[in-house]
Chains A and B, each alone.
Chain A
Amino acid sequence: MRPSAVRLLNILVPVKRAVDYSVKIRVNPQQTGVDLNVKHSMNPFDEIGVEEAVRLRERHKDQVKSIKAVTIGPPKAIEILRSALAMGADSSIHVEIPENSPALEPLAVAKTLREIIKRQKEGVDVVILGKQAIDDDLGVTGQMLAGLLGWSQATFASKVEIDHAKKEALVTREIDGGGEEVRCRLPVIITTDLSYNFVNPEPRYASLPNIMKAKKKPVEKFTPEDLGIDYTPRLETLKVTEPPKRVGGSKVANVDELVTKLKEAGITVA
C-alpha cells in the first residue's frame, strides 16, 4: 500500500487523574493540602477531550491514524489511562512520578508534553486537553504548551471541525458574553469546554468488552529522568485552608414573609 500524499492525523490527549468531581473535599489538619484518600477519576474536561478525539475519528474515519492518551502522575494514574483506552484511545504514555509527590505545576506538565510530542516519530497534529483541572483550577496547561511549541491554540472550544486536506481546524470557542469562531492551522492545541456536552451527548461510558480490550492496549512508561523534566514546584504552597463557612439563615413560610425580609434588607424594585 502506498502512503497517501497527505499524512494522516495523529491526536494526543493529555489526561489528569483528579479527585472525583462529586467528592466533598476536606482540608487536612496540617493545612498542607486536601485529603487525597478519596475517589479519583479522570478530570471531566479531559474526558470530553478523549470523547472529542474519538468522535473526530468517527467523523473522519480514515483520516485519523492514532489517538494517544498521556498522563503524568503516580502509579495509580494508570487507571485513568485505562479509562481513556476503553473510551477509544489506541495507545498511551504514562510518565510515572512517585506516590505523594507534590502537585504538578502546569509549566512542567507543558514541558513534558512538548518532550513527548518531540519523540513521536509520526508527529502530532492535534492535542486536545481539558480547559482546566478541577483540583487546582488553574486552566493554563494548554496555552503554555501552545506557547512552548509556537502552535495555534483554540481554548474553551465547544465545537471542532477538521479539514484534513487544508490542514486546518475550524473551532467555535466560548468567550465572555458569547462565542467566537477561529480557523487554526495544524498542528493545533485545543482545550475543551463543558458545553461539548450541551452541543453533543455526554462522553460515552466504556463498555465491558472495551474495558477488557483496553487492558491489552499498550502503555509506554517514562520517568521524569528519561524526559529530563524537573517537577520541583517553583511556587511555594504556604498553606491550604477551609474557606469561610457560610451559614444558612432561616426559611420563610410564604412569599409575603420573603418580601418583608427582602425589604428589610433594602431590596426593593429597581
Chain B
Amino acid sequence: MLRRSIFPTRALSRSYATTTHPHALVFLEHRQGVLDSGSLSALTAAEQLGGKVTGLVVGAPEHVQGVVEKARKLKGLTSILHSASSQYAEPLPETVSPLLEKLLSGSTPFTHIVSSTSSFAKSLLPRVAAKLDVPSVSDVTSVAHDASSNSTTFTRPIYAGNAIATVRAPSSIPLKFFTVRGTAFTAAQAQDSSQAEASSIEPVEVSDSPTEHIKSTFTKSDRPDLGVAGRVVSGGRALKHAETFASTLYPLADALGAAVGASRAAVDAGYADNSLQVGQTGKVVAPELYMAVGISGAIQHLAGMKDSKLIVAINKDPDAPIFQVADIGLQADLFEAVPELVEKLKA
C-alpha cells in the first residue's frame, strides 16, 4: 500500500525532470550538391518522432547553399543548420565529428540524431555517439517515440533479416542516435508551401586530422541507382563471366528501365562491381520488381531483397531456395530464357 502511494510522486517527478518534446537532428547528405535520397527517408523517420526536425547540411562552400535551398522546401523540416568549409568537400568522420559533437554537447536542444544507413553516416554517427557515451541503433525499419516516458522504440532486422528485434532506448539515453533503412520509409517530398528557416553555423576546423582523403572513384552508369530503383535485375554466379553478365543482363535491365544488381557470388567472382551487391552486407533494396537471374537465394542475399513487391526468379535448378520466395518462377536456362524474354517484352 505504501509502495503504491509512492508511485504517482515518482512518475510526476520523472516527467518533470525530462524534456518530453523530441527534437531530431537529421544529417542531410549530398554528393556534389545533389541531395541523397536515403536522407529523404531518414527525414520521414525523424518526422515520425512527433517533434521538431532540424536538418544539418555540411559541405564545400560551393555546394552548401544549393543543397540548403532545395532542403528548405522539404516537408517535415522545421529548420536547417548548415556549415560550409573546404574541409567538408570530401567529408571524413575525423573532420565532421567535431562539428556534431559541438552541436550535441552541453545543453543541446536535440534529442535524436538521425541519418540514412549510408556508408558515410555509418562511419560518422557511431564515432560521435561513442564520444558522447551513448549507443547507436543501426538500420531501423520503424520508429515510435513515447513523449511521456521519453523513450523511443525501434524495430530493426538482425541475423541477416531472419529475425526482427524491437528495442527501446529509454530516457536514460539522453541522445538517441539511429540510422534509417531507406526502403522502410517513403522519401520526404518537396512542397511549395514549406520554407524551413536556414541558419549557418561555424565549421569546426580540424587542423591536424589523422586521416586525409586522397581520391574517390564512382562507378558511372546510365541506369537508375540500385538503392532507389523501382525495378532491379540481379545476376548471380550462373552468369559465368563478366562479359556474359553484361551481355545477358544489361539488355533486360535496359528494356525494363531497371537497375542492375548482383549476388555476392557474382561480385566475388568479378562479374560485377562491389557497389552492385545486394544482400546483408551489400545494398538492401525493395523495388516494385526484383528479377533474380541465376541466383540460388542464399539467406544473405534474401536479406537484401525479400521486401521487394514482386520477385521473379529465373533459375535452372528446380530446388534453388529462391523459388521459395519468388512470386513467379521460371525454371529454365537463363542464357536462352533471358534473350527470349527481352524480345517478347519488347514485342
Residue numbers of A with Cβ under 8 A of B are 19, 21, 24-25, 27, 34, 105-107, 110, 131-132, 134-141, 143-148, 151-156, 158, 170, 173-185, 188, 193-195, 197-198, 234-243, 246, 248-252, 254-259, 261-262, 265, 267-270
Contacts and interface: CB of A to CB of B under 8 A. Distances in A.
A85 to B, nearest CB: 26
Contact of B159 (A137, A154, A180): A137
Contacts of B264: 194
Contacts of A238: 153, 166-168
Contact of A25 (B162, B310, B328, B330): B162
A259 B341 contact: yes
Contacts of B127: 143-144, 146-147, 153
Interface stretch (B1-9, B56-64, B185-193, B206-214): B206-214
A188 B128 CA distance: 17
A59 to B, nearest CB: 20
A156 to B, nearest CB: 6
A267 B118 contact: no
A19 B159 contact: yes
A176 B158 contact: no
B11 interface: no
Interface stretch (B12-20, B43-51, B106-114, B133-141): B133-141
Contacts of B133: 107
A180 to B, nearest CB: 5
A175 B120 contact: yes
Interface stretch (B197-205, B215-223, B242-250): B215-223
Contacts of A188: 210
Contacts of A193: 274, 281
A242 B326 CA distance: 19
Identify which of B126, B134, B231, B332 gathers the most chain A CB atoms within 10 Å of its CB.
Answer: B126
B93 A153 contact: yes
A197 to B, nearest CB: 6
Given A175-B119, A241-B166, A258-B330, A147 B97 contact: yes
